[in-house]
Amino acid sequence: MQTQIIESAGKIYHYLSDKGEVTINKLRKDMDLDDNFTYMGLGWLSREDKISYTQKPKSITVKLV
């Protein structure tokens, strides 16, 4: 399972590298990942201080730092 989380984090990292700041909903829709692995991948990247979150009025955005 840890391998799948790391792979998901890598896919998310590359996606954000290409797209820049996006909403979590857009990320979920665009990624070919199970929602659980999307969130676990985001958690992995957060723990490594690779991404930051911004609370917007109706959404949360994420981007690389």
User: What digits encode the pLDDT tens for the residues 20-41?
Assistant: 999 999 999 999 899 999 999 9
Q: What number is the average pLDDT over the span 42-60?
A: 97
pTM assigned to the model: 0.94
Predicted pLDDT of residue 32: 87
Going from the N-terminus, what domains does the chain have, and what CATH number goes with each? 2-64 (1.10.10.10)
What is the DSSP annotation of 9-33?
A: HHHHHHHHHHH-SEEHHHHHHHS-S
